[in-house]
Amino acid sequence: MPANTLTSYGVVGNREDLIDKVFMISPSDTPFTSSIAKTNAENVYHEWQTDSLRAPSATNAAVEGADASYAAQSPTVRIGNRTQIIQDTFSVSNTQDVIRKAGPKEVARLAAKKSVELKKDIEAAAMANGTSTVGSSSVARTMRGLAGWIATNYQGGAGGAAPVPSSNTGPTAGTAAAFTETMLKTALMEAYQAGGNVSQVHMRPSDKVIASAFSGNATRMQEVEGNGKGAILQAAYAVYASDFGNVAMIPNRVMSAQATPDKAAYCIDPSMWALATLRGFEKTELAQVGDARNWQIVYEGTLEARNEASSSQIRDLT
């Protein structure tokens, strides 16, 4: 290098190289609430009715010419769930709002970010909440999630107990045990016998790793690419071909990411669940009381359990 060559190391006027994008790695998927039906709620207590068929009878035979007799009939069952207000806020100073900066405007960035975070909160509440809360002027309403609804087809650890939705009693924790294929087969069979058509199993990512070692996946194929040079070892699977139909094995990151991980596996018939919305996502600018702009994003809705016996749950997993 010639003497006295000016280099970038000592120059103070070079502009910074900062691109106009912000990259976020945090997962944003909500596989349960994204897969179930969407409907409307019209009050803070959302209600619906359920019914069931009697058991089939091979001895149902009538005498020719006999008078008809009438058996007692059961009415429908009326049940419901509370809507939950899920919200978040953010504030941006007026100075920061006008400063020239790389990336999107702070209000737009934070509004988009908070909306994704609230979607994950809805997913967590719709799955892990064991009870609902009526609420008051000082207590927030909460919805009952899968953990508190699925009672008919329930597997839990020793000493535990299934939830009782009719009395708003959540599941009682039992002794923890590892996820096994026997548990999965039993859960799928019970839901099928009750009339459900399970097509999804939601579980923590760590339990998906365990499930990939189930013996039902004993044949591990190698797929050779078209050029004949590459091969893929199938160490996992996305669909479990059970005796009662193909079931998607879904690692649900929300179940493990929340403050108290949801140590369960939910075998779901999506047609029997719905997300009922009372108020869709609303972004509101609040009153300005200082040198900043203040915002709140709100959603209100609940989980509609059209018939919990269609699905099953396995709890108290290690």
pLDDT tens-digit map of 18-64: 666 666 666 679 999 999 999 999 999 999 999 999 999 999 999 99
Query: Confidence band (pLDDT; 50, 70, 90) for 99?
Result: confident
Q: How far is residue 291 from each of residues 93, 95, 106, 283, measured CA to CA in Å?
A: 6, 8, 15, 20
Tally Cβ neighbours within 10 Å of residue 114. Answer: 19
Q: Worst-scoring range by mean pLDDT, 60-74, 129-143, 210-224?
A: 210-224
Integer-rounded Cα radius of gyration of the chain: 27
Query: Confidence band (pLDDT; 50, 70, 90) for 221?
Result: low
Q: How far is residue 216 from each of residues 61, 105, 182, 242, 243, measured CA to CA in Å?
A: 43, 51, 11, 9, 11
Contact 198/267 with Cβ under 8 angstroms? yes
Query: Confidence band (pLDDT; 50, 70, 90) for 229?
Result: low
CA distance 208 to 303: 25
Backbone angles phi and psi of 221, in degrees to 5:
-85, 155
Among residues 166, 116, 125, 167, which one has the least CA distance to residue 147? 125
Asked if pLDDT for residue 217 goes beyond 60, the answer is no
Query: Confidence band (pLDDT; 50, 70, 90) for 269?
Result: very high
How would you classify the pairing of strands 200-203 and 84-93? Answer: unpaired
Give pLDDT, residue 126. Answer: 98
- Please name the residue that has the structure tokens 């009153």: 287
Q: What is the maximum span of the chain, computed from C-alpha positions, in angstroms?
A: 119
Burial status of residue 16 (CB atoms within 10 A of its CB: 0-12, 13-18, 19 or more):
exposed
